[in-house]
């Protein structure tokens, strides 16, 4: 498939596609982080995670509309307000969902899959009723438009870079929260041995709710970031959900580094192959390889070695 390209052209193609892959990587990282901490903590897969992300995206859309109408002078900064709002709204909804639904199902993880799928159907249809079936986009602030030219063949769009910075800083924040804070210590204690953690006074139900809310909130940030690089429709979340699951599982369920590495690998493979093959075949090949590797190595890339 590399026939007919000179080596310098190939290098530029890889660089450009690699950067295009980095936008995908950012979305994967942001979505997978939220999913991974929920999955790692409670063994629960939230099928409505994509819809939480879209909720964040719609929040951003509404915020940008609000700023355009009432605070046009501050329009350049609306994104940061939107991101915080998206985080708050999504984590509040996440806590509510955990309280109403998930906490009753912890001993039945497969049923959680089905119940959250039901939730995702309801949320999708709600978006369709409220915002319409058409995709909506936000206006980017002035400073986010344009591109850096690295060489004359390679250009890096600023909004893509910005989204990547958000993704990486969120990842760092999650890392610090999980490994350098009292809350994180409790989370890890509950993951390793729930009864013992409870015995020494950790409120495991509270930790569960906080973790679910945090994961949902990160999905909200993912949604806010997503509006910077694409338009939002009621079912945009579903388009990413399977890939995100695979990212989480492929990375190893309880490993944050693994999640990031696998998000990088999957997004890069997909976008590089997209240049040479059709988009659908690139996706099929990537998914096939991931599923194949998972069949041979079901614990994922970087599994936490624990005795079971």
The stretch among 54-62, 148-156, 218-226, 283-291 that binds other proteins (CB under 8 A) is 283-291
DSSP string, 182-233: HHHHHHHHHHH-HHHHHHTT--HHHHHHHHHHHHHHHHHHHHHHHHHHS-B-
Q: Which stretch binds other proteins (CB under 8 A): 60-68, 144-152, 171-179, 289-297?
A: 289-297
Nearer to other proteins, 102 or 228 (CB): 102
Work out which of 46, 64, 124, 236 binds other proteins, going by CB under 8 A: 124
Residue 115 sits in the site that holds other proteins (CB under 8 A):
yes
50 neighbors 31 (Cβ within 8 angstroms): yes
Judge whether 37 and 284 are in contact, CB under 8 Å: no
Q: Which part of the chain contacts other proteins (CB under 8 A), choosing from 61-69, 76-84, 122-130, 164-172?
A: 122-130
Residue (of 103, 97, 25, 24) closest to 55 by Cα position: 97
Q: Of 15-23, 112-120, 156-164, 174-182, which part binds other proteins (CB under 8 A)?
A: 112-120
Chosen residue from 11, 14, 18, 43 binding other proteins by CB under 8 A: 43
Tell me whether residue 231 or residue 238 sits nearer to other proteins (CB atom): 238
Q: Is 277 exposed, middle or buried (0-12, 13-18, 19+ CB in 10 A)?
A: middle
Out of 1, 69, 110, 130, the residue judged to bind other proteins by CB under 8 A: 110
261, 253, 265: which is closest to 305 by C-alpha? Answer: 253
Site size with other proteins, rule: CB under 8 A: 44
CB-based contact 211:37 (threshold 8 Å): yes
């Amino acid at each position: 498939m590399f026939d007919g390209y000179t080596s310098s052209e190939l290098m530029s193609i890889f660089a450009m596609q690699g950067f295009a892959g980095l936008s995908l990587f950012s979305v994967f990282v942001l979505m997978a982080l939220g999913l991974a901490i929920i999955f790692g903590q409670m063994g629960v897969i939230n099928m409505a995670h994509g819809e939480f992300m879209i909720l964040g995206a719609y929040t951003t859309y509404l915020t940008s509309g609000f700023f355009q109408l009432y605070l046009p002078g501050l329009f350049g900064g609306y994104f940061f307000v939107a991101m915080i709002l998206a985080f708050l709204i999504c984590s509040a909804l996440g806590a509510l969902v955990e309280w109403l639904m998930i906490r009753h199902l912890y001993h039945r993880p497969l049923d959680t899959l089905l119940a959250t799928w039901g939730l995702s159907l309801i949320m999708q249809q709600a978006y369709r009723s409220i915002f319409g079936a058409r995709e909506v986009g936000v206006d980017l602030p002035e400073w986010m438009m344009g591109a850096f030219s690295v060489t004359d063949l390679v250009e890096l769009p600023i909004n893509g870079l910005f989204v990547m910075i958000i993704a990486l800083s969120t990842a760092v924040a999650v890392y610090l929260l999980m490994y350098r804070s009292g809350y994180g210590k409790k989370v890890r204690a509950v993951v390793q041995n729930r009864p013992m953690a409870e015995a020494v006074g950790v409120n495991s139900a509270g930790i569960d709710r906080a973790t679910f809310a945090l994961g949902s909130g990160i999905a909200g940030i993912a949604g806010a970031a997503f509006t910077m690089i694409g338009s939002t429709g009621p079912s945009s979340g579903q388009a990413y959900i399977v890939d995100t699951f695979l990212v989480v599982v492929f990375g190893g369920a309880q490993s944050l580094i693994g999640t990031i590495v696998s998000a990088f690998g999957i997004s890069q493979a997909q976008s590089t192959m997209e240049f040479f093959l059709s988009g659908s075949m690139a996706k099929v090949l990537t998914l096939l390889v991931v599923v194949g590797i998972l069949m041979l190595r079901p614990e994922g890339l970087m599994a936490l070695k624990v005795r079971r």
